[in-house]
Structure 1
Amino acid sequence: MNIPVRHTSSIETKTAHHPLVYLNGEIVETQNATLPVTTQAFNYGTGVFEGIRGYISHEGENVNIFRLDEHIRRLLNSASLLLIDDIPTADEIQKSILNLLRLNNARSDCYIRPLAFKQHLLPGSGFGVKLSGVSSGLSINTLNMRSYVKQDGIRCTFSSWRRIADNAIPVRAKITGSYVNSALAIESARLSGFDDAFMLNTHGNLSEATTSNIFIVKENKIITPPVNAHILEGITRATVIILAKERLGLEVEERDILPSEVLMADECFLSGTGVEISPVIQIDHHHLKSINDESTTLSIRNIYQQVVRGEIDNFSSWLTPVY
């Protein structure tokens, strides 16, 4: 796949971001990948994105992208909800991601951010907030990224901000504008001395953390909010459920969870592409056993790391090699 590379100046490589990005069919130097201030997605939040991780294999010989097909499928499903339709196919996006990583000589754990967005009004389309009559665009940027969440456990609180409802903004889509909801919640939590926030849905049940799904452990059973609790159907969440059942023989229950039940849990952890598997050691005043020896949380985290680094052959189909 030959994508034109546009060079306009010397490449700066001092940051975690890789020097080249994909933008609307071209490979562009990162600092020169710009969009007009009139871009519809910038003005109205009408874009969708994915967060995807690549991991160096356990032999150290390759970088494997974790569940790339599922991420691209969700990106395109999200895009369809916002009528972002004039973008490359799933196969073309996959080839563009792999090509970009190779051009950037990605040789370590990395993060991939494809973003499909509404771009500019088409001729004859009147001014205003809309989805039809607006062109579409696609960008992909990549960067070096190892674990960025504290590995010895995080402290969370319940947020006064409610999780957006699915009949307000589709929660199954990663829509850029909807993340204002997350930003408000996590900023309030951090200003109060916590690392993250748990958000309730409009029914008062547990939904998710600001950018991740939530699991609690009670009496060796794993419990997580159902997909109708206004959660993002996380790809890492689905991975955890499979690993817990198939590799650890644990019972996983998907059901509504009230805040008081969370406070009475034995353990708790978050899951997501960014946070991976993050133990929660405190929720408000309640302390948990999430990082105790032989905890379920640590067992899940350990097997997850083995899977993403290609140490378990049964799950090799989830890995797409870069080289």
Structure 2
Amino acid sequence: MISKPATTTAPSASTGDKPLIWVNGQLLPKSQAAVSVYDHGLLYGDGVFEGIRVYKGKIFKLKQHMDRLYACANKIHLDLEKFVSRDEMVRIQRTCVEANGIQDGYIRLVVTRGVGTLGLNPYLCPEPGVVCIADTISLYKPEMYQKGMRVVLANRPKTPIACLDPRIKSLNYLNNILAKCEAIHLSNKLGITKPEDQLLEVIMLNTEGHVTEGSGDNIFFVKDGVVYTPPSEAGILEGITRRFVMDTLCPACGVKVVEKHFTMAEFLDADEAFLTGSAAEMIAVREVLEHKDLEVTATHTISAGEGPITNALRTKFREIVTSDHVPED
């Protein structure tokens, strides 16, 4: 069923039924796109996914996303290649992008364990499920990119690698969601209404007290002209945009980048800070709030907006993704 050829003529759908979504071999209107209630992705969060950007009709860093998807599937003992080849997975994404007329947008590619029993045994799921959504996305308001974000130091630590390796981009995101809730609840309690001041992201520490990542973004800071980011061993997702910053943007801008473990004290002493992610792209951090039981205990200013190195890197990023040579490697 997964490898069933895509519908050659997209089904008619009203505006409210857009986008057309790939669900286990069928391209369906949004209102008809559904998975079985016995799918272990729904029952147990058993599966993996990718969030991928589309720029000028090109799928940004497609190969790297496919490498990570199949590697993560292997890490949860799901032999995805047995059911869906990489070429077929790429074809599914291009089909969705074309069917929905996406030039600049976002792909959410989800692979579930598949339909099984009400028990945990993953080997009772005969084949994985594949869902592909191609749509537009706007994660943060434009004002935040112009002025930088305010973020919250989460009290909830990152799940330790030994428990569930954050390098696996799994459907188990509750640790991240509960941390993000701290920021949202604090923002609501403070009555923040200005888009640029809202608290929508956090900084999560590991159980050793080192900085790891946000709820959905990787973390960087700049000190004395050098860019720093936590190593994967700190307990982070190895982000595709993070890698692009390190391998392409920093060299292009003549900026040194270093992976190292660091504490919040070091982070708060930064000259600049920024977050990266496929959905967020690149966004500066201007302020960090600490709290206890949703009572603010400290406020730390990093910078008065986007710093010069962050701006140079983000400008180079936008230059590349708006060019005629969007990288799909």
Calculate the TM-score normalised by the size of structure 2: 0.85
Matched, 1:143 2:135: yes
Amino acid at match of 2:77: L
Q: How much does 1:14 deviate?
A: 3.9
Amino acid at match of 2:15: T
In the alignment, what sits opposite 2:292?
none
For the 8 Å contact 1:64–1:309, the answer to whether it is kept is no
**Aligned to 2:273, what secondary structure does the other structure show?**
strand
Q: How much does 1:83 deviate?
A: 2.7
In the alignment, what sits opposite 1:115?
110
Q: How far, CA to CA, are the matches of 2:5 and 2:322 in structure 1?
A: 29
Q: How far, CA to CA, are the matches of 1:127 and 1:183 in structure 2?
A: 25
For the 8 Å contact 2:228–2:258, the answer to whether it is kept is yes
Q: How far, CA to CA, are the matches of 1:162 and 1:87 in structure 2?
A: 36
Q: How far, CA to CA, are the matches of 2:87 and 2:321 in structure 1?
A: 22
Would the alpha carbon gap of residues 148 and 173 (structure 1) be closer, same or farther in structure 2, given more than 3 Å must change? same
For the 8 Å contact 1:48–1:174, the answer to whether it is kept is yes
Mapping of 1:1-323 within 5 angstroms? 2-4=5-7, 11-14=13-16, 18-56=18-56, 63-85=57-79, 86-106=82-102, 108-121=103-116, 128-135=119-126, 136-146=128-138, 148-149=140-141, 150-151=144-145, 152-177=147-172, 179-193=173-187, 194-284=199-289, 285-289=299-303, 291=305, 295-310=308-323, 316=325, 318-319=327-328
In the alignment, what sits opposite 1:59?
none
**Aligned to 1:139, what secondary structure does the other structure show?**
strand
CA RMSD of aligned residues (A): 2.1
Q: How many pairs align?
A: 300
Amino acid at match of 1:154: M
Q: How far, CA to CA, are the matches of 2:154 and 2:228 in structure 1?
A: 20
Q: How far, CA to CA, are the matches of 2:211 and 2:29 in structure 1?
A: 42
Structure 2, gaps ≥5 residues long? 188-198, 290-298
Which 4+ stretches in 1 moved above 4 angstroms? 5-8
Q: How much does 1:288 deviate?
A: 2.0
**Aligned to 1:93, what secondary structure does the other structure show?**
helix
For the 8 Å contact 2:210–2:262, the answer to whether it is kept is yes
Q: How far, CA to CA, are the matches of 2:244 and 2:10 in structure 1?
A: 40
Choose between structure 1 and 2: higher helix proportion: 2
Deviates more, 1:252-261 or 1:242-251: 242-251
Deviates more, 1:34-43 or 1:270-279: 34-43
Q: How much does 1:42 deviate?
A: 0.7
Amino acid at match of 1:100: C
Identity of matched residues, %: 28
Calculate the TM-score normalised by the size of structure 1: 0.87
Q: Show CA shifts across 1:38-88 (max 9, x none).
A: 2211111101100001113xxxxxx22110111111111111222332531
